[in-house]
Amino acid sequence: MQVETDEPEVIERVAALDVGKAEVVCCARVPGPGGQRMQEVRTISTMTAAVLALGDWLAGLGVTRVVMEATSDYWRAPFYLLEDRFQTWLVNAHDVKHLPGRPKTDRLDAGWLCKVAERQMLRPSFVPPPAIRELRDLTRYRVDLLAVRTAEKQRVEKLLEDALIKLSVVVSDLFGVSGRAMMAALIAGERDPTVLAELARGSMRSKTVRLNEALTGRFTEHHAFLLTQMLARVDAITADIATVQARIDAQMGELAPAVARLDAIPGIGPVAAQMILAEIGTDMTRFPTPAHLASWARFAPGVSESAGRPKGNAGTGKGNRYLARVVVGEAAVSAARTDTFLGERYRRIARRRGKKRAIVAVGRSILVIIWALLSDHEAQFIDLGPDYYASRTNPERKVRNHIRELRALGYSVTLNPAA
């Protein structure tokens, strides 16, 4: 029989912050005479000097834990200024708002959050240390730049469609060597489809006839002006991406060995490894088991059951979109195409459960491998091989299963060993 205590231990000296853009409402609760609890609420500015003064006041009260909700990006200033002095917790507003009896004014909200925090009814969110935060800012900015560049490239394609230039139908990469040469010639004033098609390079030379047809359109000076601006924008963003990537490489420092270990996982390259480390860090003590990491990243299906029957669609929920992008959008998809254990795992699950579930399952397996590699600095990735499942299949059990299925269909089975 499992014994649980219903009454949680009360945090004697605790404070809670209701954070806004211009003001912070702080409620502190400390022991009072006769076993009662004393509470004081203050409203201060979010400016640095005011928050530092708030820290001095809380330190004078002997506060040990400061709790605040994740409100937009406004939580950063008080969190960064107080994290070195107190046990600072950032809590998910989703976890707090569903608690019953919660009022909604700034002062009452701070008091309510403080009361909930002192009874340890909250759990902290993962906030990486400063070095990892800086790396995370860089990797996320790189992702955002890639999205902006992709949007600009799509505008280029739409502009060419408007000019009746169907180049993207023939050319797989509109911004490859051949595509850029043709667009540059269009901007320079060349309109002859035959001349433009001759600018093709490499394997594109075999598509001259189709290129001639695709480059027959109505490209005007208006299109040339817009295309010039768009290509300049694409090139500028590309240069910015290279600059940010160089900064990321320079800041990896002690994380370089971890990047090398993660790079050995199928589907993960150096850039993807950098992004993963920027999101989860290297300290796996924050995630006691691989299941904790998978749950935090929302790669663990939700459990909802009533009257012995599962409810809902067991979705994984919304997690870290940057981590999901690199683990599912890049690593898992790439690993699924390989002749490795992860590739075979994808194919086995895809046959039974579908491709989407198989990708999520492979993503979870990748997270488990990442946790193991980061938990033990001496660990190295060793692929189990695509024949891992087949080598562990019990032939006799497989034969019995087939016989049982055939008998269920009304057949009489006689086994004759092959010569």
| Phi (first) and psi of residue 26, to 5 degrees | -115, 130
CA distance 53 to 305: 49
Residues 6+ positions from 35 with CB-CB distance below 8 Å:
none
Q: Are 196 and 185 in contact (CB under 8 A)?
A: yes
Amino acid 96 reads V
Contact 133, 73 (CB under 8 A): no
Q: Which residue has the tokens 């491998």?
A: 369
What order do you get walking across the sheet with 37-45 strand by strand?
A: 37-45, 23-31, 14-19, 65-69, 87-91
Name residues whose C-beta falls within 8 Å of residue 300's C-beta, 6 or more positions apart in sequence.
Answer: 291, 294, 316, 364
Parts of the chain belonging to CATH 3.30.420.10: 14-118
Treating both helix axes as pointing N-terminal to C-terminal, what angle do 256-263 and 270-280 enclose, rounded to 10 degrees? 120
Say which CATH class 14-118 falls into: alpha beta
Give residue 127's pLDDT. 85
Return d(Cα 75, Cα 280) in angstroms, integer.
Answer: 20
**Distance, CA of 13 to CA of 24 (rounded, Å):** 19
User: So what's the pLDDT on residue 304?
Assistant: 61
In the predicted structure, residue 174 carries a pLDDT above the cut 80: yes
Distance CA 241, CA 235 (A): 10
Angle, helices 221-252 vs 270-280, to 10°: value is: 70
Write out the H or E segment, with its range, that includes residue 267. Answer: none
Q: Are 374 and 282 in contact (CB under 8 A)?
A: yes
Confidence class of residue 303 from pLDDT cuts 50, 70 and 90?
low
> How large is the greatest C-alpha to C-alpha distance in the chain, in angstroms?
95
Residue-wise pLDDT for 318-332, tens only, equals 677 888 888 877 888
**How far is the C-alpha of 43 from the C-alpha of 50, rounded, in Å?**
10
For residue 1, the model assigns a pLDDT of 47
Yes or no: is domain 131-253 CATH 1.10.10? no
CB atoms within 10 A of CB 258: 20
Closest by alpha carbon to 262, among 339, 322, 349, 335? 335
pLDDT value of residue 292: 87
Q: What is the mean pLDDT of the chain?
A: 86
DSSP state of 328: I
pLDDT reading at 312 higher than 50: yes
Q: At what angle do helices 221-252 and 130-162 cross, to 10 degrees?
A: 160
- For tokens 């950098």, the residue is 274
Specify the pTM: 0.80
Burial class (CB in 10 A: 0-12, 13-18, 19+), 334: middle
More confident residue, 198 or 110: 198
Tell me how far apart the alpha carbons of residues 59 and 85 are, in angstroms, rounded to a whole number.
8
| Tens-digit pLDDT profile for residues 386-413 | 888 877 777 788 888 888 998 898 888 8
Low-confidence winner among 88-92, 102-106, 160-164, 273-277 (lowest mean pLDDT): 102-106
pLDDT the model gives residue 108: 75
| 42 SS3 class | strand
Whose CA is closest to 124, among 168, 166, 90? Answer: 90
The confidence band for 97, taking pLDDT boundaries of 50, 70 and 90, is low
Looking at the chain, the domain(s) classified CATH 1.10.287 span: 131-253
Position 116 scores a pLDDT of 81
The pLDDT value recorded for residue 305 is: 64
What's the burial of 363, exposed, middle or buried (CB within 10 Å: 0-12/13-18/19+)? buried
Q: Which two tokens stand for residue 186?
A: 């269009």
Low-confidence winner among 36-40, 247-251, 257-261, 306-310 (lowest mean pLDDT): 306-310
The DSSP element (H or E) to which 407 belongs, if any, is helix 395-408
Q: What is the DSSP string of 306-346?
A: ETTEE-S--------HHHHHHIIIIIIHHHHTSSSHHHHHH
CA distance 154 to 364: 32
